[in-house]
Amino acid sequence: DAGVTQSPTHLIKTRGQQVTLRCSPKSGHDTVSWYQQALGQGPQFIFQYYEEEERQRGNFPDRFSGHQFPNYSSELNVNALLLGDSALYLCASSLVWQGDGYTFGSGTRLTVV
Amino acid sequence: AQTVTQSQPEMSVQEAETVTLSCTYDTSENNYYLFWYKQPPSRQMILVIRQEAYKQQNATENRFSVNFQKAAKSFSLKISDSQLGDTAMYFCAFNNFGNEKLTFGTGTRLTIIP
């Protein structure tokens, strides 16, 4: 049973560029959440997608946007990259309000130079 | 504001010993879930154990157990018979029932010494 798959694993971008990160949820899961984990910090919630709509959003600017596809996979887009966007981006999937935790992927390490 | 505090940035313990990681949280809600996640160098967050706030009995998963003190808003993790594979970052997290957002602490780096 495949878990959560994220691509790419590593990425280097230049300030001002745009980036797209991808996530395939665990088989059977219908909800995808995205988290940003800065070095030495705990993950911070960006947003969650269910039924192809953004269901909840954390305190992130509009430069961060997402999408969920009919097969439940998801993309995270970040525009006008800043140095401070350098972080590990984690995707987590679940069944809509499952309550017993989420299955996380191994993340995409984004470096902005 | 909902917050999670882990006051021990780093801990180390000899293999086979017992170690306890501390966590306190703040929420105005009454129904919520608490979690401990492990993040090894592979970066994947792995669920170690979870606790429903409405359950008085402390959760246990093999060598891992929690001490949940709801009134004190405390949720510590005890690892018994520690193994080298337990070396990782450990994050305490919670979410309010019906709220999908997980709030994490800053983590405790645990090192098991051979």
**A chain contacts of residue B44, beta-carbon cutoff 8 Å:** 104-107
Interface contacts A/B by beta carbons within 8 Å: 62
Residue of chain B minimizing CA distance to A49 = B100
Give the pLDDT band of residue B86 (cuts 50, 70, 90).
very high
Q: Is residue B85 pLDDT above 70, yes or no?
A: yes
Distance CA A80, CA A64 (A): 10
Q: Is residue B54 pLDDT above 70, yes or no?
A: yes
Q: Is residue A1 pLDDT above 60, yes or no?
A: no
Please tell me if residue B99 touches chain A, with a CB cutoff of 8 Å: yes
Tell me what pLDDT residue B100 has.
Answer: 77
Give the pLDDT band of residue B92 (cuts 50, 70, 90).
very high
pLDDT, one tens digit per residue, over A15-39 is 999 999 999 999 989 999 999 999 9
Mutate to test the interface with B, among A97, A109, A110 (most CBs of B within 10 A): A97
On average, the pLDDT of chain A sits at 93
Specify the higher pLDDT residue, B14 or B95.
B14
Binary contact (B33, A107; C-beta < 8 A): no
3-state SS class at B54: coil
3-state SS class at A44: strand
Please tell me if residue B64 touches chain A, with a CB cutoff of 8 Å: no
Distance CA B26, CA B92 (A): 12
Give the Å distances, CA to CA, from B50 to A3, A58, A112, B68: 19, 23, 35, 10
pLDDT, one tens digit per residue, over B37-51 is 999 988 889 999 999
3-state SS class at A2: coil
In angstroms, the separation between the Cα of residue A105 and the nearest Cα of chain B is: 6
**Which of A42, A103, A105 is facing B91, going by the closest CB pair?**
A42
Q: Report, as an integer, the average pLDDT of B73-87.
A: 97
Tell me what pLDDT residue B101 has.
Answer: 87
pLDDT, one tens digit per residue, over A68-85 is 999 999 999 999 999 999
Binary contact (B100, A56; C-beta < 8 A): yes
Distance CA A38, CA A113 (A): 15
In angstroms, the separation between the Cα of residue B81 and the nearest Cα of chain A is: 25
